[in-house]
Amino acid sequence: MRKHLALLPLLCAFTGTSHAANDIDSLTALVQPQFRDLSEDLGAALSYRGVIPAEPLGITGFDVGLEVSATSIENTSAWDLASSGDAPDTLYLPKLHVHKGLPFNIDLGAFYTSIPSTNITVWGGELRYAILEGGVALPAVAVRGTFSALNGVDQLDLDTKGLELSVSKGFAMLTPYAGIGTVRVTSTPNVAGLSEETFSLDKFYAGLNVNLGLFNIDVEGDKTGDNSSYSVKLGLRF
Domain boundaries, the chain: 2-237
Structure confidence at residue 197 (pLDDT): 98
CATH of domain 2-237: 2.40.160.20
Judged against a pLDDT cut of 50, whether residue 17 lies above it is answered with no
pLDDT at 106: 98
pLDDT-based confidence at residue 102 (cuts at 50, 70, 90): very high
pLDDT at 14 over 50: no
Average pLDDT over the chain reads: 90
pLDDT at 4: 41
Q: Give the model's pLDDT for residue 20.
A: 57
* Overall average pLDDT of the 62-87 stretch: 91
Q: What is the pLDDT of residue 6?
A: 46
Average pLDDT of the segment spanning 78-95: 87
How far apart are alpha carbons 142 and 164 in whole angstroms?
Answer: 8
pTM attached to this predicted model = 0.89
Tell me: the pLDDT tens digits for 137-172? Answer: 999 999 999 999 999 999 999 999 999 999 999 999
Give which of 47, 42, 58 is closest to 164, Cα–Cα. 47
- Going by pLDDT thresholds of 50, 70 and 90, the confidence category of residue 86 is confident
What pLDDT is stored for residue 9 in this prediction? 42
Q: How far apart are CA 160 and CA 39, in angstroms?
A: 11
Query: What pLDDT sits at residue 5?
Result: 45
What is the sign, positive or negative, of the torsion defined by CA atoms of 76, 79, 80, 85? negative
Compute the average pLDDT of residues 220-231. Answer: 97
pLDDT value of position 12: 42
Radius of gyration of the chain from Cα atoms? 18
- pLDDT for the residue numbered 23: 86
Which pLDDT value is given to residue 13?
42
Asked whether the beta carbons of 153 and 132 are under 8 A apart, the reply is no
Phi, psi of 58 (to 5 degrees): 90, 165
